[in-house]
Amino acid sequence: MAFDFKKEFKEYYMPKNKPVIVDVPEMNYIAVRGQGDPNEENGAYQQAIGILYLVAYTLKMSYKTDYKIEGFFEYVVPPLEGFWWMEGIDEVDYSDKSKFSWISVIRLPDFVTEEDFKWAVETATKKKKIDCSGAEFLTINEGLCVQIMHNGPFDDEPATVALMDSFLEENGYENDFSAERLHHEIYMSDARKTAPEKLKTVIRHPIKKKA
């Protein structure tokens, strides 16, 4: 049976609908950076997702090719994730999504090296005739965070974030956003196939103990 990150690491992918503190270890990702409205048809965000999945599935299916990855085992491709911010402001203005900056990512198994990643980018580009050079091998160590499962439309996230902020205030923590520590979402539902009210999204914020 294929290894499923969502099931094996439930503490990172399946939080309850109330805030919880987690210490997130270092992980490697396929990443594509960009700017703009994620809902724009054939826009930069949707193109980035296409590249992410091309590279992710090239790695997943590598065992059927002549290229062998040391330590490889069969696995389910982890869910799509995203780091989001707007330049110059701490909050997010959902009324103007064109101002979003983002890093879209898919987690990599630990056995995938940077050399394996480069092979996958080159292979996907040649096979699908799509330029995947915008993908990068990115290592992120999130550390101490608060997270929650948000149920419903993305535009309703502010109410869930308010719950997180209240939880931090009550427990002696505060948000710790920076250029390296960002608003993080993990998409447990496929937004293309799921009604907005049924979407499940992990929201994760970097935190620190209050001084």
Q: Which of 113, 176, 101 is nearest to 139 (CA)?
A: 113
Measured distance CA(71)–CA(59) in Å, rounded: 13
The β-bridge relationship of strands 100-107 and 20-35 is antiparallel
Q: Which amino acid is at 168?
A: L
Question: Does the predicted TM-score (pTM) go above 0.85?
Answer: yes
Please compute the mean of the pLDDT values over residues 174-179 and round it to a whole number.
95
Residue 200 has pLDDT above 90, yes or no: yes
- Chain centre to alpha carbon of residue 42: 20
Question: Which pLDDT value is given to residue 111?
Answer: 98
Question: Which pLDDT value is given to residue 32?
Answer: 98
Query: Sign (positive/negative) of CA torsion 181, 187, 191, 194?
Result: negative
Please compute the mean of the pLDDT values over residues 5-30 and round it to a whole number.
97
Q: Which of 109, 82, 110 is nearest to 97 (CA)?
A: 82
Q: Does an H or E element contain 47, and which?
A: helix 44-60
Measured distance CA(118)–CA(120) in Å, rounded: 5
Confidence of residue 88 (pLDDT cuts 50, 70, 90): confident
Measured distance CA(179)–CA(22) in Å, rounded: 20
Measured distance CA(80)–CA(52) in Å, rounded: 9
Confidence of residue 92 (pLDDT cuts 50, 70, 90): confident
Express each pLDDT in 100-127 by its tens digit.
999 999 999 999 999 999 999 999 999 9
